[in-house]
Structure 1
Amino acid sequence: MIKTFRPFLTAALLATSQLVVAQGDRFPSKPIQVIITSTPGSASDAITRFLGTEVTKALGQPLVVVSKASAAGTIGAEFVRRAAPDGHTIFLGGNTTMAANLYLVKNLAYDPLKDFEPVTLVTINPLVLVVRADLPIKSVADLVARAKAKPGQMNYGIGNSGGRVAAQLLKSGAGMEAQDISFNGASQAILELVAGRLDFMFTDPMVADPFIKQGKVRALAVTSSVRLPTMGELPTMVEAGVPNYDYVSFLGYYVPRGTPRSIIDTLNGAFVKAIDSAEGQAFFRRMGMIARSSTPEGLTTFNKEQIASWERWVKQAGLEPQ
């Protein structure tokens, strides 16, 4: 009995072991955490939760949004850089973490191109210039005139590097001065603007839109070279009188370097389908963003272009690494 049972037991254990290995090779085999570098309630949070609904259906595992906010997004980027390259940790990176930090952060502990694998581009985004509603400022010209009349006395909020460089481009282009105050995310900064402790800021249209509609802040212009369809009444900064002004930010999904290409392709397919769907396109229009999915190679090319643009913008704005 024992002799006949032992081979059967050995075969059974081998089959079980092979099954476990096969199950472990399946992707995804557990919930996927998506690291964002802004606060809950931000545009990045809303985007990932929206896309996560469709991606969860496609992959069979939930997407869990994890906020690791910091002024330059380095905490979140470093967390993902050190994560296991198995596709279960995704990074929603953007202009700050994947381009600007190369020129704005001293001794940056990661390389945007070498330490991450691209999955897909998600959006390109103009910012909107807003002022607090109780100021007698109705236009960009009014803002510039007030700043020049009170040199260095006005202040503005910064929630990310996009907001920082957008403000610096205004200051250098219009020849005005104002004091910057940094926050861990645009959502936090705009609350300070609404509270009357800031004078103006550049931020995502989605972050500003509820406060614009409530009359708590006043929108003056958008930073892109063309008007934003959802805010078509707002002029571009060029139309508002600031020569050669053109700035947009971007968002894209990344995974740690070394993640297998098969996993990257699986993620790309799920995210691209959600971004390109009719519901996805409508969602991003409501957000004041331009949806733009890509191949992994397409995001690499775009990222390199952004790095080159940021080198130019930082020099133009006269910014120094901190």
Structure 2
Amino acid sequence: MSTPRAGVGAPTRVPAPAFVLLLQITFVLLFSSGFIVGRIATDAASPFAILFWRFLLAGSLLTLIALVMRAPWPRTGKEWRDLAITGSLLQTMQYAGTYLAFKYGISASLSAMIMGMMPLLVALGSWKLLNEPLTRMQTLGTFIGFAGLIFATVFGFGGGDGWSSILWTTFGTLGIAAGTLYQRKTGMQMDLRTGSAVQLFVAAAGMLPIALLNEGISLPMTSPVVFSLSWLATANTLGAITLLLYFLQNQSAGEASSLFYLMPGVTAIAAWLLLDQPIYWYTWVGLALTGLGLVLVARYTRTRQARHETGIALGETLR
């Protein structure tokens, strides 16, 4: 898999829309699983130790893959700098906030809803920083989705989720939004194997001192910890984050982040089935509003040409 570069090489057949949709569904399922498995992991071990080993294992696996496939590594100081910054934001800041919130007892569904605020933050940032204005209907959809998230968050606080856990999740949301905007603003193009490996090692280095100051890096070798760490380091990190980085390289920041509107609903249902966390009435209202927001944002994509260019880039990546 090579870094997508539209217009390079021979003409490439655009993948069928159903195949692109399959990639998006896979991303949503893999990313949403992190809320469920992350909650299981932090109930069994220190959140910072889990994150340190998650980043280190995933980075090592990607490095091995990159070496075997002879993938290109960053060449300039600017490329290394941009990868370090995005790794700190997309990985360290995002997961430190969300996992600490898990430790404080936030429900998986509310955590996913707060993380769903990311598209609004990205839309506002894109308007100011990236010159990627949304259409009127996309703007309306963004604010409807945000209203649903606020509604569920306010009632979720009344239902037992504390302010500390909500604030830490918000901190993590700011991290992934800032990383998304930075990657789009710098126009960073990277090989997804080596670039992701660098980001993960940066995240591990940033998490190490935090973990050492908070319960250390040792983990109990229990079944929940082994399963959670294995899943988080492979499917959730290698799968979901790599797909997110791919979408960021080949879509506008607003279009890529709109996928996050699907995650609260998927996570709420999974938490009900797997963690026995009830779905309250305010959760359903919030999900309905965020779902409507997703439809508006996704339906009114700015141009057909943007969708076509994304398909071309995907075809070159998979060639």
Higher relative contact order structure (alpha carbons within 8 Å, sequence separation ≥ 6) = 2
Q: TM-score, normalised by structure 2?
A: 0.28
Greater per-residue helix proportion? 2
Q: TM-score, normalised by structure 1?
A: 0.28
Query: Highest CA radius of gyration, 1 or 2?
Result: 1
Greater per-residue strand proportion? 1
